[in-house]
């Protein structure tokens, strides 16, 4: 993750701690509270990524083939291209999950 992303995450943690009425991290908050909040945020991010993987990306579609008069199989390449796109999307989601 980039420094900007890390700072944004720290700002979110500070905001949540402040909203919950927990002492500001910079002024002496107990480290355990920060870790609990970070774990909650991480868990929620993982849930969202799993939902994106399930609802948006979905499963691969089977390749649809037809036999020609010559006996050779010809394939509709639409599903092949869609499956390739799904593979790219899964790779990005896996990378995002690894960064958490």
Structure tokens at 75: 């394939």
Neighbours of 20 (CB within 10 A): 9
Q: The pTM is what? A: 0.57
CB 56 within 8 A of CB 89: yes
Q: pLDDT digit string (tens) for 15-34?
A: 777 777 666 556 555 667 77
| Structural domain boundaries in the chain | 3-99
Q: pLDDT digit string (tens) for 35-89?
A: 777 788 888 889 999 999 888 888 888 877 766 666 666 677 888 889 999 999 9
Q: b or e along 60-92 (b: 16 or more beta carbons within 10 Å of the residue's beta carbon)?
A: eeeeeeeeeeeeeeeeeeeeeeeeeebeeeeee
Structure tokens at 95: 């990378």
Mean pLDDT, the chain, rounded, equals 77
Identify the pLDDT of residue 90.
Answer: 93
């Amino acid at each position: 993750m980039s420094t900007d992303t890390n700072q944004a995450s720290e700002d979110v943690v500070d905001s949540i701690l402040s909203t919950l009425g927990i002492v500001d991290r910079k002024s002496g908050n107990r480290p355990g509270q920060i870790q609990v909040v970070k774990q909650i945020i991480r868990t929620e991010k993982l849930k969202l990524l799993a939902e994106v993987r399930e609802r948006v990306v979905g499963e691969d579609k089977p390749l649809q083939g037809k036999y020609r008069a010559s006996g050779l199989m010809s394939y509709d390449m639409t599903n092949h291209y869609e499956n390739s796109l799904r593979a790219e999307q899964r790779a990005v989601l896996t990378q995002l999950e690894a960064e958490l």
